[in-house]
Structure 1
């Protein structure tokens, strides 16, 4: 009878947890479904994987289990909440393990604490690999429109630029140096224009980092209308360059 009453009290306490409480678990959270489709393979895709995983955990209000803001010892005075913390830790750990490639998974399967796993993965794979950086930059420089629509070409190039910037921690550099930020934006604009099939006869101008204005004379053979030209410049300035 005592155990039954304790069970009722425990269930009642857990059921009263608000959805914004890090210990709250929705029934679907324990379904075994993967949070993200990206599999961590190693250094080559750690940045993309960690970004996707943190975003997914944020939607579940479970970031605290990997960044140290929701820790076990805070609930040691309450046996019920302590047990709930252990369940949440196991759920988040399962989500992360399910998003690892087979080789990475085998090295973490016996881990018990999700924060420790996250820290170890970061320490192991959050590194600037010269060959990975080179190959990505090579793809950026060889990227061209090549039959794609203007928007498809832009989004493909922009995705690679954002991955490259994150890989070399470009935000830390540009935030402290406005001139470098403008130069970096100018290089991206030049890369975008060089990959177009043609921008001849567009009367297209760009603002240089030194404050002067340059006219793009020729980069190919496809003629775009003034409307598309203006759309391209607006899209690039307001999305990629800001």
Structure 2
């Protein structure tokens, strides 16, 4: 005898005029994607955009004109985007989701916003070839390849400025401030590659010794 209790409409349902509740869970729903989209409303999410985040925003006051100010411009952009929790998108650490993902449109909007913010701080000559790149990380890498290739000359110039600098008639405070500015610029041009082999500590130790030598060597 066939069991009719599994039918979607039992005799009792027909008599009472009620419809049974379907307790089946659709396992095809991508709950991960849904949760990810919902979390975008949190300001801690890289894809979150505040109402004040607009394409016309100028993130930093300085403009990139060439290799001479690339290091300081790069550092300023990194700080500004880190403060907006967008640096991971610029560096590519936060990957673009699949185009079929519910969060793709959110990523695309933020990605385009970052590209606009960067181009707002770059000279027209430099930005002219950047408008056709699809991702913020591509723009970032293109700028890096363009200016790091000629940064060797800039490193030479900064090193020369460091070795020429002397206290002279200036106060120790002013002398130290100038020297620290040159040193920080040099460190930005020659970033250390982190590793677990001990070489990083040796490099940092040598840098501290070099710094101490430069400070005392230039004092009157």
**CA pair 99-189 structure 1, distance change in 2 beyond 3 A:** same
Cα shift at 1:54:
1.4
Verify the 8 A CA contact 2:67 2:148 in the aligned structure 1.
Answer: yes
Structure 2 Cα separation of the partners of residues 156 and 138 of structure 1: 13
Where in structure 2 are the equivalents of 1:172-183 lying within 5 Å? Answer: 176=199, 181-183=204-206
Distance, in Å, in 2 between the alignment partners of 1:181 and 1:105 is 36
Is the helix fraction higher in 1 or 2?
Answer: 1
Change (3 A) 1:37 1:69: same
Which one of 48, 58, 76 corresponds to residue 34 of structure 1?
58
Does residue 17 (structure 1) correspond to residue 46 (structure 2)? The answer is no
Dislocated runs of 4+, deviation >4 Å: 13-16, 170-173, 177-183
Q: How many Å apart are 1:119 and its aligned residue? A: 1.6
2:214 to 165, 169, 191: 191
Unaligned runs of 5+ in 1: 1-12, 198-242
Listed one character per residue, the Cα deviations across residues 107-159 of structure 1 (whole Å, up to 9, x for unaligned) are: 21333321211121122222363322221111111112244332232122012
Compare CA radii of gyration and give the structure with the larger one. Answer: 2
Deviations 1:84-108 (A, max 9, x none): 2222112111111011122211121
The 5 A counterparts of 1:65-214 are: 65-74=89-98, 76-78=100-102, 81-127=103-149, 129-169=151-191, 176=199, 181-197=204-220
Corresponding pairs, count: 183
TM-score (norm 2): 0.70
Q: Distance in 2 between matches of 1:170 and 1:69?
A: 19
**Structure 2: gaps (5+ residues):** 1-36
Give the whole-Å Cα distance in 2 for the aligned partners of 1:113 and 1:183: 38
